[in-house]
Amino acid sequence: MFEILEKRALNPTVVRMTVSAPRVARKAEPGQFIILRAGENSERIPLTIADYNRDQGTVTIIFQIVGAGTMELNTLNEGECLHDFVGPLGTPTHTEGLKKVCIVGGGVGCAIAYPVAKKLHEAGAVVHSVVGFRSKDLVILEDEFDSVSDELRMMTDDGSHGQKGLVTAALEELIQNGNQYDEVIAIGPLVMMKFVSQVTKKYGIKTIVSMNPIMIDGTGMCGGCRLTVGGETKFACVDGPDFDGHLVDFDEAMARSGMYRDFEAHAREAACNLFRKGEI
Ligand code: FES
């Protein structure tokens, strides 16, 4: 059993939990994920590792409350335990040898981008971070990004915090100001990663994106998380989740995620109703 040591709401729908999981913490690296189950009969939920502390044996996850599984997870409080917490899974984000990097995070994707920025900062790299949210009330991890970034650009769609505009505009401005990045690492909604990759392709800057398709078993067996990258089929759970942004077929990934959206919405509604009635 995996005890929840700390739980905190980061905004109205995003929650951070720090979990006692010494064996996962010992091997965890930024970019990897875990699969958890709140209870014995609960849905399996894949979540990227947001932070870890090897000395304390803890792993931090950040999740958005979007359906019955995460609603159930959110009912657990400090001192209670998760039934399963399996990982670390997937391939760590490559950070070795990078001297100057721009991290671009969008929405709850910033939870995944932050440990990457932190690791690069601790390794002595120059880190510029561009983070984007719809509005001020949805901003997460601003202080954390500030503490590991040599330059931080905060963007909101409505201008209620930081600068009004898209992350792509801030990224392009930084590039045009003469910043020469070894790599841009973009983590957020598919459409954001697609347009970040288009910007960087123009300037010939290597770009890594973190893909987060539907995952079921997390072991490469079910095919749920397949993507086309450079004309080849890849599985995000074992080949990724990081891929070369200039090679990912984003249009196909967006079409597939759209295909699942209606099905998911129905399943989520049905599951939420059962959950509210206490039947699951
Ligand atoms: Fe099943 Fe990746 S989650 S193949």
d(CA 277, CA 261) in angstroms, rounded, equals 24
pLDDT tens readout for residues 202-224:
999 999 999 877 777 777 788 88
Closest CA to 111 of 166, 49, 37: 49
> Mind listing the pLDDT tens digit for each residue in 268-277?
566 556 656 6
* Type of residue found at 3: E
In CATH, the architecture of 100-210 is 3-Layer(aba) Sandwich (3.40)
Kindly tell me if the per-residue pLDDT of 191 is higher than 70: yes
More confident residue, 237 or 230: 230
The reply to whether ligand 1 has any atom less than 6 angstroms from the CB of 222 is yes
CB 78 within 8 A of CB 96: no
Q: What is the pLDDT of residues 141-187, one digit of tens each?
A: 999 999 999 999 999 999 999 999 999 999 999 999 999 999 999 99
Residue 43 is given by DSSP the state P
Q: Which CATH architecture has domain 2-89?
A: Beta Barrel (2.40)
SS3 label, residue 251: helix
- pLDDT single digits (tens) 253-272: 888 776 655 555 565 566 55
Which residue pairs, CB below 8 angstroms and at least 24 apart, start in 5-13? 5/58, 5/78, 6/78, 7/76, 7/77, 7/78, 10/62, 10/140, 10/141, 11/137, 11/138, 11/139, 11/140, 12/137, 13/64, 13/65, 13/66
Token reading at 37: 């189950």
Ligand 1 atom closest to 238 (CA): 2
DSSP of 179-220: ---SEEEEES-HHHHHHHHHHHHHHT--EEEE-----SSSSS
User: Does the pLDDT value for residue 59 go beyond 70?
Assistant: yes
Question: Partners of 244 in the beta sheet?
Answer: 208
Domain ranges of the chain: 2-89, 100-210
- How much distance in Å is there from the Cα of 218 to the middle of ligand 1? 5
pLDDT for residue 256: 79
pTM of the predicted model over 0.75: yes
Q: Which atom of ligand 1 is nearest to the CA of 215?
A: 3
Instruction: Give the pLDDT confidence score for residue 278 in this predicted structure.
Output: 60
Measured in angstroms, how far is the CA atom of residue 86 from the centroid of ligand 1?
Answer: 15
Whether 224 lines ligand 1, by a CB cut-off of 6 Å, is: yes
Q: Are 192 and 164 in contact (CB under 8 A)?
A: no
What is the residue-averaged pLDDT of the chain?
89
